[in-house]
Structure 1
Amino acid sequence: MKKSLLALLLGSSVALAACGGGEEAEPEKETGGDTAAVDGEQVYKQSCLSCHGQNLEGGAGPALDKIGSKLSEEDILNVIKNGQGGMPPNITEGADAEAVASWLASQK
């Protein structure tokens, strides 16, 4: 049983490496604060979607579909940086956080 499991794990890791799954991600590029270079919606999908939903409808976290009519971009960035309620601080940081805040502020 242990040999079968080991063979399965080794085979999976070889397959992932062959498909590119074993490669390291490229280091993030400095944008110098230029949030236009970062896609806020894409960062949302990577970092926020699991709690706030595919369509901003909420789930474990509150709905964000109209958050821009309630909070300013600065307020949204403050929540991202400092957390609020059950949301921990700094889920995303830097230009990514700024891009998400900007994108969410446009959701009205």
Structure 2
Amino acid sequence: MKKTLFAVLFGFVLILAACGGGGDDGDASETAAGEDLYQQNCAACHGGDLSGGAGPSLENAGDDFDHDEVVSIILEGYGGMAPVDVSEDEASDIADFVTSQ
């Protein structure tokens, strides 16, 4: 009886694992990673909600700059902003988050 119950439960777990985590969540997970990186590297100046502070608001950054421009700004700096010490992939994730807001 225990073996049968275990086999059924194990099969159920395998089915759930096979069905979950797929789909088009790549963009969502990149945006979530970008939000975490933004909070760690950018929020002190640009605000936790992108509303600004010591640095300008980024609430409409996606209207003014495209993804690649935001990556460049992050890696090279812009105006009085120093370059941010992140990898290009991390800068891309941050840009995904900022331009999607």
Q: Is the 8 Å Cα contact of residues 82 and 90 (structure 1) preserved in structure 2?
A: yes
Runs of 4+ in 1 over 4 A off after TM superposition: none
Give the aligned partner of residue 54 of structure 2: 60
- Where do 5+ consecutive residues of structure 2 fail to align? 1-28
Counterpart of 1:100 in structure 2 is: 94
Q: Which amino acid aligns with 1:91?
A: D
Give the percent of matched residue pairs that are identical in Structure 1 and Structure 2. 36
Aligned pairs for 1:13-92 within 5 A: 36=30, 39-92=33-86
Using the TM superposition, give the Cα deviation of residue 103 of structure 1 relative to its aligned residue in structure 2, in angstroms: 1.1
Coordinate RMSD, CA, aligned = 1.9
| TM-score for both structures, normalised by structure 1 | 0.61
Aligned residue pair count = 73
- Higher radius of gyration, 1 or 2: 2
Unaligned runs of 5+ in 1: 1-34
The alignment's TM-score, normalised by the length of structure 2, stands at 0.65
